[in-house]
Structure 1
Amino acid sequence: MSKSRKRPTAARHKAPARNQNDAPDIPRFRDANAAENYTKSLPRKFASTKFVCKPMLISLGVLEGVTQLFCNIGCENLLNLIAYTYELPTREFLVDSGYDNEKRKATFQLLGDRRYIDFAMINEILGLPSSNTSTVFDILPAEFNHETFRTEIIRGIFSCADRDKATFIIHSCLRIAHRILVCTVFARKEAGQVTKNELFFLWCMMQRANPPIPDFASFFFHKCAHMRSTMSDDVCIGGFVTLLARGLDIELPDEYQPVDNRNLLDECALINMHHILRRNMSSFTWYCPQGVGYLILPRPSSHKLHLP
């Protein structure tokens, strides 16, 4: 009988201290390609995964609505996860991970420990949904029209030049939900252009009856493979790597230190990302492409999920 696993919670874990004279060991790989990928990855920068800061959701007046959106796709526990990012295990995981969508299994190495486990177990560790009919993201459902959905959430406010940017989303809850997805599921440091896959996740969240449930593990390892092949952008998956290590009882050495302590998507992070502007001590305005604050937050109706 399998051992029951506790879902990670929002408890803040103290970052371990590190003796600066102790250098971490370079991992050894069974696969020569992984060793080569590791060497190639050395110039890449690693950034903390930014997890949800619930006080931020409260201060913007969107906690109820954002929680409902993530509940709609079975990902409400994503709002509770938090972990530090550590460079060495994250780099090791990235260069030597793979997956088989048909068998629904993933393989990866963490601190020399090679694992071959089911998607379902990965999702269970993280408290995120499994789906036996997970969407292959190269072929999205026919009923999803990204251009139509994009138009619905823009409502004609911005010009064509601005319509692909993250700041085009005018609904408070959808805009914050997108920012959370970018920082966690899509493992991007900056929002930039809103992709078709990101629109698909938002569309799933807005479906009232039987919304599609994207399989997190399937998408996560698909994202890792893409990230490994591009070898360009900052790596932002480390928080999930730490959570997986914790769930699999793989202990990180005490001498490891986080890449930084900024692992929360809070008001300061949103301001630095040019997502919101502080209006006064208790309210904010949205940042829009023209640099004008056009919506004051919080607002009493911001928790409602119908589009404005």
Structure 2
Amino acid sequence: MAPKRRKSNDATTSNSRTALQHRSTRGNPSPPSNNPDGIIFDPDLNQEVRFNNLVSRRMTSTKFIDNDALLQLGLKENIYNLFNGIGWGEFVTLHRPTYRRLTLEFLSSLVVDANDSVAGGRLIFRFFNKCYVISMAKFNRLLSLPEQGLRKPPREWDPATFWRAITCEREGRANVRPYEPSKNKASQIYNPVFRYLQRLMANTIFGRGESVSVFRDTEVFLLYCLVNRMVVDVGYFLAKQLEKIGKSSVGDIVVGGMITILAERMNLSFTHLPIEKPISRLDLPYCTTFGLITKVEDEYWLTFFQGPIFPLPNHDLTNTESQENWQPPEGDLPYEPPPQVPLHQPAPYISPHDASTSSASLNWTNRFNMLERGQQHLKDSIHSLQQDMGTEFHAINARLDGFGTTLGTMNQLIQDLHHFSLPHDYAPPPPPQ
């Protein structure tokens, strides 16, 4: 007999409850070999097909906010003022590791019915072979988020206007490029607060395993809401992103930590499960790798298009309450922003300004110092890459050691079987003449 479905405090129709209870009793009692946890698949959710697409994808740690890094860069107070202004203050402090069983079962079963009239929609998903139905409002409550809020921009909102307000694509600048969501790079964002927030959203609410450097429409909108203290239905955006990941067959899975938070807030017991990926954060090495900062001697400098701008912390130049800090000073960039390129196409190398540009005012000593800082940034990036490769190398070695032990055991078993299955005086036949 299948376990009973956990009762929900949300208002749902009796018909939907009956259907879901009936659905939770179905499934294959003999799970396939790629399902060692014995997940019972729900055919009405197309769960087995989705699971098979998910199980072969690489799972990586969810990267959460790093308070130590923000404190050292002088950005913490500013960022948390924005979070607290629209009710995200507690949500961003929830950091959890990734569990493979929880992640695969949830993503393979999640269905988001955003049009349901009950509490702004509902989510259907499974944990430990039980089917759960919760309202969107409760989903937000479980994650310590506002229960209601905007799900789409107001009619008068123009993403291109806000985009140009926070990037080097300012009005009146020569060669201003059109707003194209598929090509807009987060590296064009000048203020380090905004750039850090974009990367945080790309790893959590809009967690994806690729194209994290692309500043998408939804991220532009949420950043706009943060700046203007407009409450957003974050649970809706997160749920839709999780559903999209669960129905896809490509890309790394980076949202496991978010799913762990939900399971924990639902008071589910999963301490018996092994941790698949530990907690990870957007720390100083990561900020260096994605080009937010450059380490110059004992200081971290804000980096903009590979050029160090000024040392951090510097509240007067990074405080987002002043719109003067949203864009770089006119004519004061050491490097020209590279041209936009489509996704998965490398950006061409861009050399420094020649003497006819605004950098002509920089003397040769300053240019040499910039080259040194760029070299240090490259060294830091290589070092971070070496660390990541070393971690993967040790993990591969550990798996190979396990395979070696298993093969040794199998070899011994074969020898034992051979010994017991043949007479002691048995001799193999002579080779053919």
TM-score by length of 2: 0.60
Let me know the Cα RMSD of the aligned residues. 2.5
For residues 145 and 54 of structure 1, do their structure 2 counterparts lie closer, same or farther at Cα, with a shift above 3 Å needed?
Answer: same
Out of 175, 182, 188, which is 2:195 matched to?
A: 175
Q: For residues 257-277 of structure 1, what are the alpha-carbon distances to aligned partners after superposition, in whole Å with 9 as ceiling and x for unaligned?
A: 232x35122112222333322
Which residue of structure 2 lines up, in the alignment, with residue 217 of structure 1? Answer: 235
Aligned partners of 2:58 and 2:253 also within 8 Å? yes
Q: Which moved more, 1:221-230 or 1:121-130?
A: 221-230
Q: 1:1-308 alignment to 2 at 5 Å? A: 24-31=36-43, 33-103=46-116, 104-131=121-148, 134-136=150-152, 140-156=153-169, 164-189=184-209, 191-207=212-228, 211-259=229-277, 261-281=278-298, 283-289=299-305, 291-301=306-316, 302-307=318-323, 308=325
Instruction: Flag the structure with larger Rg.
Output: 2
Give the SS at the match of 2:308: coil
The CA distance in 1 between the partners of 2:38 and 2:270, in whole Å, is 14
The CA distance in 1 between the partners of 2:241 and 2:310, in whole Å, is 33
Read off the aligned partner of 2:213 and give its amino acid letter.
G
Read off the aligned partner of 2:189 and give its amino acid letter.
I
Give 1:253 shift. 4.4
Q: For residues 156-210 of structure 1, what are the alpha-carbon distances to aligned partners after superposition, in whole Å with 9 as ceiling and x for unaligned?
A: 4797679821111111222222222222111134522111111001111111xxx
Aligned partners of 2:203 and 2:255 also within 8 Å? no
Read off the aligned partner of 1:183 and give its amino acid letter.
N
Q: For residues 4-58 of structure 1, what are the alpha-carbon distances to aligned partners after superposition, in whole Å with 9 as ceiling and x for unaligned?
A: xxxxxxxxxxxxxxxxxxx941411122611111012222111111111111110
Aligned partners of 1:69 and 1:177 also within 8 Å? no
Q: For residues 130-164 of structure 1, what are the alpha-carbon distances to aligned partners after superposition, in whole Å with 9 as ceiling and x for unaligned?
A: 21x5314xxx3222211111110014479767982
TM-score by length of 1: 0.82
Which residue of structure 1 lines up, in the alignment, with residue 386 of structure 2? Answer: none
Aligned partners of 2:53 and 2:248 also within 8 Å? no
The CA distance in 2 between the partners of 1:67 and 1:114, in whole Å, is 36
Question: Which ranges of structure 2 fall in alignment gaps of 5 or more residues?
Answer: 1-7, 10-34, 326-433
Read off the aligned partner of 1:31 and give its amino acid letter.
P
Question: Which ranges of structure 1 fall in alignment gaps of 5 or more residues?
Answer: 4-22
Give 1:304 shift. 4.3
Aligned partners of 1:173 and 1:305 also within 8 Å? no
* Percent sequence identity over aligned pairs: 23
Read off the aligned partner of 2:185 and give its amino acid letter.
K
For residues 192 and 155 of structure 1, do their structure 2 counterparts lie closer, same or farther at Cα, with a shift above 3 Å needed?
Answer: closer
Aligned partners of 2:192 and 2:292 also within 8 Å? no
Read off the aligned partner of 2:287 and give its amino acid letter.
L
Q: Which moved more, 1:247-256 or 1:53-62?
A: 247-256
For residues 181 and 257 of structure 1, do their structure 2 counterparts lie closer, same or farther at Cα, with a shift above 3 Å needed?
Answer: same
Read off the aligned partner of 2:281 and give its amino acid letter.
L
The CA distance in 2 between the partners of 1:166 and 1:100, in whole Å, is 31
Q: For residues 228-261 of structure 1, what are the alpha-carbon distances to aligned partners after superposition, in whole Å with 9 as ceiling and x for unaligned?
A: 33322211111111111111111114241232x3
The CA distance in 2 between the partners of 1:279 and 1:91, in whole Å, is 43
Aligned partners of 2:112 and 2:122 also within 8 Å? yes
Q: For residues 37-94 of structure 1, what are the alpha-carbon distances to aligned partners after superposition, in whole Å with 9 as ceiling and x for unaligned?
A: 1012222111111111111110110111111111222211233111001122101111
